[in-house]
Amino acid sequence: MVFIHYHIMKNMNTLHTLVAAIAFPVALQAVDWINADVGNWTDAANWNGNLPDAWAHAYINNGGTAIVDDDARVSSATTYVGTNGKGTLIINSGQLNATWNVMIGTEAGGEGFLQVNGGKVTNGYDNNFVIGGNGSGKLEINNDGHVDSDWAFLGGEIWRNQLQSSGRGEVVLNDNALFSNTSGIVLSPGATGQSTVTVNDNSTMRTSGSLYLAYAGQGEMTVNGGLVSAADTTWVSGNGGSSGALTLNGGVFETTRIANGNGTGTLTFNGGTLRALANHDSFINGVSGITLLENGGIIDTNGKSVTVNSAFSGSGGLTKINAGTLTLNASSGMGALTNREGILAIASGRTIDVTGATTLATGSTLKMEGNSVLDTGRLVFEASSRLVLDPLAAGLHAGVLDLESLDGGKIGILILGFQEFGVGESLEIFSFDSVAGLYGTGLDANDYFVFENSPDSKYVFTWKEGALALTVVPEPSTWALVVGIGSIGYIAAIRFRKR
């Protein structure tokens, strides 16, 4: 995925050139943690020299554990936790400011663990926060802890447009934790890299750039609660051979779009919400599959117009919420389909199979574009919902038709490309096998539906042979005859037009 290099490097070169030209007043020193047990960072006896500061690299690599608490503010140039050995750093309160990098599990054989419990860790602008370089690294943020980074890498590192390492990285956020990031978050930049991110509770992971779930290796992100926000693109996979997986079990994942590179990328819903941050005709594009598990998934269009070009499958349901338009542009199968607000559209040439119910909530719209098809186990219209389609091109069939209480208004039908027709002709709108109430015969369909193309015109809705149809009100003399002899015989004589 060569294109990522530009994004990663465009902000680095200028600063690094500047830094190289500066004559530092003091040469950077290395300060080693020497306490093999547990000790406080601020105790100079735990280090082999003076306390680390902005001009000294701090190394915790001897199997010991350094703790920052009592609201202490400590610093280093680069903080290394587990280079080629083991190391643990725990921030219970206060703040660690690394003016350059934070490196956890840097070299082969290294094991580093950084736990942030209520305090804060920051690293310098245009520098890297690496969790598992060539070794194994883990970052755990708990109890309102906060990590603020510029570039963040898991399971490897890219530096100056070159792959530096490929290891194993893990990030876990619990209890209102915050992981904030400026330029981008990159999982597994090397082909052998392995990375996992888990977001729980009310925690937040946020980047102002892009999120790469598997740049070259294997990467997984699981959202069980809270918020993950990627202001730019979320790349599920990158280079050929990479494998990325995004699982939304709860909480909210928001982004401008979800795209797939040259590897394998999957998206799974089991109770989570995906929120759109911008209008996009490829909001989800190229992923190997979108799976809807038992608890289903929610797409929050957030007032935007977005298109999903990847197919859904699974027994769970898909629900669209909030204003905006969601267009399904891949033939799909699912357990249920619900539109709570705005427009849910099916693109021309696509077929959506719903084993359970398709529900249009009050005020929402189902738009069937061109020759799209919706085959659903149950079709539920709530008051003032709308159906937009060209019945001569699109196909809509329900096992059961269910008209909810219409106290809030009739169901609107808008026919695309409508052409006038006369007495003796009728246009089938959609079909069904059975009804869930006492409606479905005779002329009472007009009590439920309104023809939006011409609401006060000669056209009325009727029921006919397991279908809703639009027909023409006869001339007054003929209408009187119809009323006198009963409507069913008249309807049977109408010439129907259907898809």
Which of 108-112, 290-294, 311-315, 461-465 is the least confident region? 461-465
Residue whose C-alpha is closest to residue 310's, from 282, 280, 330: 330
Q: What is the pTM of this model?
A: 0.91
SS3 at position 277: coil
Q: 203 Cβ partners below 8 Å, 6+ apart?
A: 141, 173, 174, 175, 176, 177, 178, 179, 225, 226, 227
Give the pLDDT of residue 6. 37
Look at 244-248, 364-368, 457-461 and tell me which has the smallest mean pLDDT.
Answer: 457-461
Q: Which two tokens mark 407?
A: 């106290």
Residue 337 burial (CB count, 10 A): 29
Residue whose entry in the numeric block shows the structure tokens 């893990």? 170
Residue 26 has pLDDT above 60, yes or no: no
- Per-residue pLDDT averaged across 291-304, rounded? 99
Computed over every residue of the chain, the mean pLDDT equals 90
Question: What is the pLDDT at residue 28?
Answer: 85
d(CA 275, CA 273): 6
Tens digit of each residue's pLDDT (9 = 90 or more) over 198-227: 999 999 999 999 999 999 999 999 999 999
Give per-residue pLDDT as tens, 107-148.
999 999 999 999 999 998 889 999 999 999 999 999 999 999
- The domain spans of the chain are 28-209, 335-498
Instruction: Give dist(CA 248, CA 268) in Å, integer.
Output: 6
Residues in Cβ contact with 171 at an 8 Å cutoff, skipping those fewer than 6 apart: 131, 138, 139, 140, 141, 154, 179, 196, 197, 198, 205
Locus of tokens 């989800």:
284
Place of tokens 């750093």: 89
DSSP conformation letters of 144-195? T-EEEEEEEEESSEEETTEEEE--EEEEEE-SS-EEEEEEEEEE--STT-EE
Tens of pLDDT, residues 480-498: 444 444 444 444 444 445 6
Question: What pLDDT score was predicted for residue 211?
Answer: 99
Q: Minimal CA–CA distance to 128: which of 200, 40, 189?
A: 189
Give the pLDDT of residue 496. Answer: 47
Interstrand relation of 343-346 and 365-368 (parallel, antiparallel or unpaired): parallel
pLDDT score recorded for residue 48: 97
Phi, psi of 169 (to 5 degrees): -130, 145
- DSSP lists the bridge partners of residue 428 as 469
pLDDT in tens, 59-81: 999 999 999 999 999 999 999 99
Instruction: State the pLDDT at residue 474.
Output: 72
